[in-house]
Amino acid sequence: MVVEVLVKAAHGAPDKLGDCPFCHKILLMLEEKNVPYQMKLVNLSDKPDWFLEINPEGKVPMYKDANGKWVPDSDVIAQIIEEKYPEPSLVTSPEYSTVGSKIFSGFINFFKSKDSTDGSEQALLDELRSFDEHLKEHGPYVNGDKISAVDLNIAPKLYHMEVALGHFKGWKVPESFANYHTYTKLIFSRESFTKTKAAEEYMIAGWATKLSS
């Protein structure tokens, strides 16, 4: 059975995959579990009526479950997929499930900051350092030797961070975070990741709208 999933279309290019790390997480999960799926792009700049009828909040991703019901929220969708397709397991040890969870908000704060003295860059660096230290002790993946749900959640966000900060601020993650760089090289080169990531030009277009909002 082929599952259906609704994801964000690219800003200014509604026929291309857009820049949504939460959609990316679900696509990664389906790829890693070898679940056949049909991806439908939704133009969030001009939301179609059929989409708003099934999801008045107008958010993606959405996933059609076995009963034909559309389910929103990437965390809920991830849980459904894990339960329905348990092999290979992507379950993360509870003690590691929140590792790196503050990096994304730290990135957004720094990304939107116009004050170099507000501490937002240092706050992001502190989170990245903590993540790097965890990987040094427990890597190569967050949960150890095998990729798990926590990696599929954080990797798209790290990719967004690198592309957006690199383009708009000329900023890069320090080379001294060697374990971080080993990790991202490992994840970003996985077939599942390269197959489901948005093109950099569409990510930049998406983040440009956030600078003006």
Q: What residues contact residue 61 under an 8 Å CB cut-off, 6+ apart?
A: 5, 6, 7, 8, 20, 22, 23, 26, 72, 74, 77
For residue 146, which phi and psi values (nearest 5 degrees)? -115, 145
End-to-end CA distance of the chain: 41
CA-to-CA distance for 193 and 205, rounded, in angstroms?
20
Write the single-letter amino acid at 56.
Answer: P
Strands (E), the chain: 3-10, 13-17, 37-42, 62-64, 70-72
Record the tokens describing residue 91, joined without a space.
């379950």
Among residues 85, 51, 90, the alpha carbon closest in space to that of 66 is found at: 85
Kindly list the catalytic residues. 20
Alpha-helical regions (H) of the chain: 21-32, 49-54, 74-84, 103-112, 120-138, 149-169, 178-188, 191-196, 200-211
CA-to-CA distance for 107 and 103, rounded, in angstroms?
6
